[in-house]
Structure 1
């Protein structure tokens, strides 16, 4: 399952496409996606400038950045720098998703990202942030004292990216989703790189944790059941990865550690029917949707290429 649809909501706002010349409506509950297509004669930076020149743009509470270049491997740096330069014109920005790009526009493994630190320095009031694409993705020296949501979607997350997030100052963070991916598409982290989040002190207000889309989903499941952070969570998301009976057994053997959750998401898994049945008494807490063929030797994360 690749990412086939754009965001329709983000950060509590409705998301609508925007093109130059269109008015900006309902900015109290709507944010706009600015994007280019391969045959566009207007660059993303030019479209952003048109947006900033549109009546009411200063009241924008969020933006969604779509395709930023007509070359599939174009770096995000120029688009990000333009957004940073617009900080005085977007004083109310609190929700931003950078890279709302579907697989039909560009495969996630082809997206060339950049260091997002400048955005957080330019917009200190951000509450909800997300990005897609792992190539060159960094969050060096990340400090966002109001941020509540961070979603990072990759087909393969580097150790450097993981370590940046594990060293971040995010005291208000409630919701964290990391799409970790596979070595084939750039994942180089080890389990030790994730351990700072496990003791529950790194992000003390965290309620929703997604360590997902991982080739080592079994290992993550085995570790998380003994992690102190689990006690503070309301939602644990281990979906989209290669979760087999090995990881499922670890969860079942330590059910007392997570029975307080409101939701345990295990969608897209490789758990046999026999082991799935052992979760039956714990439904509807458990989401075991989208089971994969356990007889197939080829096992894959949901979002890779």
Structure 2
């Protein structure tokens, strides 16, 4: 699997690409604005961002999607983050921000050069949704944010300090947390111990959706979740995109009840047909996504996550 298309909707709004000089623009609050540099653009990201803010009514913009921020050669997102943060006061209504809406033909996910993104959470206190794609050199410091309801990190390798920073953050109204953990080869060095604060149910008291996905130790995660206090309050659970096998699925079924869930996402897995049937029978009222079944007979050493490079 690769990231092969740009977002079509974000924050329940259609995504609209900002084009400087366009004859007509939609109402500022009616779309999620996608800001991205074309290859070999004549301006840099800061200039494009400034043009955007001078063209629309920034005071009513609700959602922004940031695409490619480089002109020719890949470069860290640091300057783009600074440019966005410098104008934060002009965006008082901003509720949702997606950083890194980039497809594989523009830049592979693990080639995206990231930086510290903490500032974006600091300068936008009204954010309810924050998503970041890319893990290389990604950094985050523990923060307190009183309105954030959805936090998502997509990576071919999510650095363990970022995972620990999320776990140490104070996010009292967080309802949705998704982490694509990725592989060690691309910096995904988190361990099951790093995930402990997400499992005990105390850190994020209103969490309703948990995604611990795209992992090389998906069986270990499943086994930990089998007895994790957080599961009882979840409505949906995402263990997809990793190397989940019968061992992890059996642990889930032998642990606490899962029949209260509305849905469990296990797509891209290494489950036998027999185990898939066991899951369907054990969870009759739950929407169970078992698509993208890989060859369960493959040597475990050769199994792969859905998104790495």
TM-score, normalisation: structure 1: 0.96
Distance in 2 (CA, whole Å) between partners of 1:195 and 1:56 is 43
Q: 1:301 Cα deviation (Å)?
A: 0.5
Gaps of 5+ in 1: none
Q: Which residue of structure 2 aligns with residue 58 of structure 1? A: 59
Change (3 A) 1:71 1:301: farther
Q: Which residue of structure 2 aligns with residue 127 of structure 1? A: 128
Q: Which residue of structure 2 aligns with residue 286 of structure 1? A: 288
Distance in 2 (CA, whole Å) between partners of 1:294 and 1:192 is 27
Distance in 2 (CA, whole Å) between partners of 1:292 and 1:268 is 7
Segments of 4+ moved more than 4 angstroms:
none
Q: Aligned with 2:55: secondary structure?
A: coil
Number of aligned residues = 304
Q: 1:44 Cα deviation (Å)?
A: 1.5
- The correspondence of residues 64-143 of structure 1 with structure 2, limited to 5 A, is 64-143=65-144
8 Å Cα contact 1:24/1:56 also seen in 2: no
Deviations 1:215-260 (A, max 9, x none): 1001000001100000110001000111011111111222x42111
- The correspondence of residues 142-291 of structure 1 with structure 2, limited to 5 A, is 142-254=143-255, 256-281=256-281, 282-283=283-284, 284-291=286-293
Pairwise CA RMSD: 1.3
Gaps of 5+ in 2: none
Q: Which residue of structure 2 aligns with residue 33 of structure 1? A: 34
Deviation larger for 129-138 or 282-291: 282-291
Deviations 1:92-147 (A, max 9, x none): 11110011111111001101111111111211010011000001112213221100
Deviation larger for 23-32 or 97-106: 23-32
Q: Aligned with 1:209: secondary structure?
A: strand
Distance in 1 (CA, whole Å) between partners of 2:262 and 2:37 is 39
8 Å Cα contact 1:213/1:240 also seen in 2: yes
TM-score, normalisation: structure 2: 0.95
Q: Which residue of structure 1 aligns with residue 18 of structure 2? A: 18
Deviations 1:267-287 (A, max 9, x none): 010101121111222245211
